[in-house]
Structure 1
Amino acid sequence: MTVKTYMTTMPNKSGAFLLASRIIWKQGGNIVRVSYNKAVDMHALFLDIRAEEAAHAAIERELRAVGYLSKAACDARVVMVELTIPDVPGAVLPALKVLDRYDINISYINSEENGTGVQHFQMGLLIENPEVIKMLLDDLGELYPIDILEYDDAKIPLDNTIFYIRLASEMRTLFDLPPAETQAFIAEANRILQLLQKSGENPGKVFEYIRRFAHFIADHRGRAFQPEIERIHLSPKVTLHSIQPPCGSNTYVLETDNELVLIDTGYARFWPEMQEIFHTLFDNFENRLSRIYITHPDVDHCGLLSILPAPIHINEKSARFFRRQRQGQPDYREAKGFCYGYTKLNRIISGYAPPPEERMVLMDQNTPEEHGELYPLGSFAVGDLIFDVLEGSGGHVYGEMIFWEREGRAIFTGDNLVNIQGFSPEQAEFNALAPYLMTSVNVDSQKATAIRRELITRITAMEIRTGKSCFICGGHGPLSFLKEGKPVKLG
């Protein structure tokens, strides 16, 4: 059985509704909702009727025969929407003006004050011309947050409008997004859709991946944020802590008696959870935190840079990357069209803000803009260890760097070399989303492959020279070592 809305026009006399009820009852129909307001329209009565399709046809025919139903009315369908409107005098008027402009009747309306500063107006919009519904919903959405509660997709073709509106409502609720960010989210979701439709992807699948991406981050907040934590002693004076979250990059902490040095910081959205972990693992964390390094300037590796009060040691390319973000220009990943929508969407979901210029400490000058192999930038010391800094060719992303302990004890490879096979089920699920939504996580896959091979060759040569395994600290997943040319999980 299906439910259809009938906008009937009845004479203002006793027995009119009785006649309509008998027609509906005779055909086995059931009235599930009725709406009438004489002060608004003394003749208009809205009926939601549940019946078999054949019965609906008979009901329409008989109601029309007695003059209760025009052809336009029987073709009408109701879209149930909810508008979140400020609880102030006159706030609903702009929405009513939009409905009047499109000649839309309201078959149902319900709202009441709830002490929150907004009212949730539920409206049944009687749509006689399905061609106007997309424009109508777009115009209402520009005024207020809107959600679609119910509609007949067989009778009202909304294209992708229904997905956008429901997605906007969902994201607004998940992350408490303000209207401007909600609109930006929808714009970037549309950009991703356009990209993937060119390769034949179904809109429903695209939106589902976007939803999964957002929900994965939202669902792993609080107690659900349970990273794997590994600890190894790199030297008598330096201990390495590897914090491996279910989504976002690993965060590495090099600990000495006097200081804590971070490499990569994960998503900004998880700052409360990471703050608790830092305080659990380390005494006097804020005062001991001395420096932060990043392997590359992607959002999922740099979320806490704008939050943690420590100098950020970076190369010139990463500094330019962040500068473009602060200026509102596309950064060097976003400049690649296939990355733009995903990266912008990632910023919104993760609560990212670019780090301030005044906390940046440059590690290089006049580095060649292009170079095919790992290029030395300098070095830095932590305790009794020295780390050489090597810049990649930009295959994964512009500004990528490698930090290699000079005696081959450990190497921080970012996303240039990760142990995908060692991912936890959650990490594997999350890290499969970006390659679909961007089509590739690398801005230049050929360069990325070349750098990965160079890293494996260099690590192998170092291990032959030292006779010891080198700990591979990838951007995601577990601590690993090379075995037959591939990263393998410790233990």
Structure 2
Amino acid sequence: MTPSNETQGKKSPYIDETFQQRIRPYISILNDREAEAYFKETEAAVEQLVELGKDPKEAMQIMENIGLYLSANTGENFTADYQKISLGRDRELWSIQLPGGGNVNLFRTPDGDMVLDTGYGCSYHDVETMLKTLGIEGFAGVKKVVCTHADADHCGAAGFLPVKPIMHPVTKQILDAGTRGFGSETQHKELERSYTTTINTFSQMNVPDSVELCSTEPKKMHGLFPVIDELEFGGMHFEIWESLGGHIAGQIFLYEKDVGLLFTSDALINLATMTKARRDYCSIADYLVTSVNVNSTIARTERHELMRIAKELDDELKTKGKKLLICCGHGAVSMLDDAGNMVAACEIEHYAANAK
């Protein structure tokens, strides 16, 4: 039987004053009017989850767990795993797995630094402190920023960085619309909007005042993916591929041929290289929006096509004595083993703020 919140014939809200007080520390950036609208959104989302057979108390606890987890993993409790990879010609890629959310990728080159995906806003200062501890001047040298899609764990700190981020026009539209369901056919509009507001607010998303939009005119195809633009930085030439929109509309992938880098964003992740805490945290989205992908069928197609292309590119690079580096949205920078499975491309190192 579907759970009910009927009491003596009169409906009482799931999002009552007790729950509101519990989560107010995580929505302090909202004014009273915005907070009221958020609670109405959340009420509608819980009602839809109940219709889908979820227990309302469990759903509300999982929402609260986002704030509990993020607040418990910042400041002196911040930890991260990272890889430092030489790209030749005095260039390095630092790929940082945050305690919650997607990876921050920092290219260090003689021409300055480039950030590919920014992580959550609440992690920005912790990552900068981490970089300084490891001998890098934080984000002071950043000359270019790219956001692969509109989820807060990939563009939530963009507003802190000193340059306009490059993104797909639909990514900007999603940020303006305030729901990751924008531009997609989804049966769960209330869930997508509520989740977007929750994660953006709890993670202290800092939306940039202005952005640089990439082109969307297909120049050629790479498999199923249109090549819509290109980017030059640090002696590297990146193709920008448009996704099919399985994970979220407007997602882009990047490919650098000479070095052999394929950035797949959240279309590919390497779960085996993620800690259990990170895997558990990532599962929250699956519960609250039924699937982390706005279209799971398309997402599967993208996954299979990216792996097919990765194997093809890796075979080409082997003739030059190189290996393709697959930079996933979550998990370690990876290579393909002899069986075609993703494995960590190099040692994963650990950073803990309280170990300084």
Between 1:467-476 and 1:447-456, the stretch displaced more is 467-476
- Quote the residue 1:489 is aligned against: 344
Residues 161-310 of structure 1: pairs in structure 2 closer than 5 A = 161=14, 164-174=16-26, 176=28, 178-281=31-134, 283-310=136-163
1:469 matches 2:320: no
1:311 matches 2:164: yes
User: Displacement of 1:486 after TM fit?
Assistant: 3.1
Amino acid at match of 2:345: L
1:422–1:489 CA contact under 8 A, matched in 2: yes
Per the alignment, do residues 372 and 473 of structure 1 end up closer, same or farther by CA in structure 2, a change over 3 Å counting? closer
Deviations along 1:366-408, one digit per CA (max 9) or x if unpaired, are 459xx99211022222323222111111111111111111136
1:181–1:348 CA contact under 8 A, matched in 2: no
TM-score for the superposition, normalised by structure 2: 0.84
1:445 matches 2:296: yes
- Which of 255, 271, 280 lines up with 1:420 in the alignment? 271
Percent of pairs with identical residues: 24
CA distance in 2 between counterparts of 1:265 and 1:329 reads 17
- Quote the residue 2:280 is aligned against: 429
CA distance in 1 between counterparts of 2:228 and 2:26 reads 42
Amino acid at match of 2:151: D
Per the alignment, do residues 485 and 166 of structure 1 end up closer, same or farther by CA in structure 2, a change over 3 Å counting? farther
Per the alignment, do residues 208 and 463 of structure 1 end up closer, same or farther by CA in structure 2, a change over 3 Å counting? same
Larger Rg: 1
2:99–2:278 CA contact under 8 A, matched in 1: yes
CA distance in 2 between counterparts of 1:487 and 1:185 reads 40
Aligned residues: 331
- Which of 235, 242, 245 lines up with 1:384 in the alignment? 235
- Quote the residue 1:12 is aligned against: none
User: Displacement of 1:489 after TM fit?
Assistant: 2.5
Structure 2 segments unaligned to the other structure (5+ residues): 1-6, 347-356
1:160–1:203 CA contact under 8 A, matched in 2: no
CA distance in 1 between counterparts of 2:261 and 2:42 reads 39
Residues 311-460 of structure 1: pairs in structure 2 closer than 5 A = 311-325=164-178, 331-332=182-183, 337=189, 338-357=191-210, 360-367=211-218, 373-407=224-258, 409-460=260-311
1:189–1:210 CA contact under 8 A, matched in 2: no
Amino acid at match of 1:490: A
DSSP-derived class of the 1:432 partner: helix
- Report the aligned-residue RMSD: 2.8
CA distance in 2 between counterparts of 1:296 and 1:391 reads 11
Between 1:348-357 and 1:178-187, the stretch displaced more is 178-187
Deviations along 1:319-338, one digit per CA (max 9) or x if unpaired, are 3333445xx99844697614
Say which structure, 1 or 2, has more relative contact order (CA 8 Å, 6+ apart).
2
DSSP-derived class of the 2:160 partner: coil
CA distance in 1 between counterparts of 2:160 and 2:45 reads 29
CA distance in 2 between counterparts of 1:454 and 1:131 reads 55
DSSP-derived class of the 1:173 partner: helix
Deviations along 1:19-43, one digit per CA (max 9) or x if unpaired, are xxxxxxxxxxxxxxxxxxxxxxxxx
DSSP-derived class of the 2:92 partner: strand
CA distance in 1 between counterparts of 2:54 and 2:155 reads 31
1:175–1:349 CA contact under 8 A, matched in 2: yes
CA distance in 1 between counterparts of 2:329 and 2:271 reads 10
DSSP-derived class of the 1:297 partner: coil
DSSP-derived class of the 2:101 partner: coil
Per the alignment, do residues 174 and 366 of structure 1 end up closer, same or farther by CA in structure 2, a change over 3 Å counting? closer
Structure 1 segments unaligned to the other structure (5+ residues): 1-129, 135-157
Per the alignment, do residues 437 and 334 of structure 1 end up closer, same or farther by CA in structure 2, a change over 3 Å counting? farther
